[in-house]
Amino acid sequence: MEVNGQMKEIVLKKFEEVFGDVQGVKVFFAPGRVNLIGEHTDYNGGHVFPCALTIGTYAAARVREDNMLRFYSMNFESLGVIESSIEDLKPMEEAGWTNYPKGVMWAFGEKGFPVPKGMDILLNGNIPNGSGLSSSASVEVVTGAILRDFFGFDVSNQDLALIGQYSENKFNGVNCGIMDQFAIAMGKKDHAIFLDTADLSYTYAPVKLEGAKIVIACSNKKRGLGDSKYNERRSECETALSELQQVVDIKSLGELTEEEFEKYKAAIKDEVRVRRAKHAVYENQRTLKAVAALKENDIALFGQLMNASHVSLRDDYEVTGIELDTLVEEAWKVEGVIGSRMTGAGFGGCTVSIVKEDAIDCFVKQVGEAYQAKIGYGADFYVVEIGGGPAVL
């Protein structure tokens, strides 16, 4: 892991510059994640299939003798050191990005693990910002790993995921599901996580893409999760679920097969909600089929299911937008693309494609040029590897 070694040196050097010395400092890492298939199913009691990446968030941290919190991000250097205190763990607009680590400290306290002392924390992420590769969840998990390590808190990696989600829901007011934090905290090299979000049961599935690679295309369209249509989609699905519950005994949309959905969908009183619920049900079934295909080494079928996932997100769930549609539709034209879809919450962010290695250069050129021509600014492309979970470096 030569990258980790280099990044460790970089954050230690910067820590010394910002905070004066590196006495008592340790360096931590938490990955970003990409979801291969199973989008907007995680709060509908369905399955998801994410994997951790080798890019992520690096953090240098140490404990202070007082109650002060000092944060610095190499990704937002113009903001300088942002100060706070462990007595003052509440979300504040002017706290900016530090609301994520502060939220985790608050959540640890809520779960019976109060943070006893202040800290100096410096972050450096190599996840593209606003890309939808979960930089916020990565920051949450790395913060949890820091607290666990320094204060000896008895929490598992799965607990780190749940605490991160709790802090994002209750402290930062984003009604996110469990997938992002879970994928990051539970990541395993060269494996994706087949997670049932209804009960958090999961298995690891090896991802063997002989002769192909995962390529992320970042639309560079900025979006804010909290103010996007995310919470609106959630409530549309919740309403559809309560309408279906009048006629069928289910706890979540993820419990229905396609046939059952078609049988009962008349109970949903609004055409838009029918499409939202249809996406949740069909996408969950696609995810089950995709994981089965991967186990059979049927990458072609996996790719077709990825493509179908995008169409459903575009037409039934309506969370794609012109930027993501352009990236995906141009990807489909390139020979050697096995599958391509938007990934993440939508309305900007990224696409994920499985591309044959000898087609990657052509893919980047062709899709990049078409995107620039249509959208008016460029996209960024990342060939990524599947990595492990949080670590002390």
Q: Which residues are catalytic?
A: 180
Local structure of residue 116 (DSSP, 8 states): -
Neighbouring-strand partners of residue 50: 35
- CA neighbor of 181 nearest in space, from 291, 83, 107, 98: 107
Edge-to-edge order in the sheet of strand 337-343: 337-343, 350-356, 212-218, 380-384
- Residues 6 or more apart whose CB falls under 8 angstroms from that of 94 comprise none
Instruction: Strands of the chain (E only): list them.
Output: 26-35, 47-48, 50-63, 68-73, 82-85, 119-125, 191-196, 201-206, 212-218, 337-343, 350-356, 380-384, 391-392
- CA neighbor of 366 nearest in space, from 322, 320, 333: 333
- CA neighbor of 330 nearest in space, from 295, 366, 301: 366
Asked if residues 67 and 86 have their Cβ atoms less than 8 Å apart, the reply is: yes
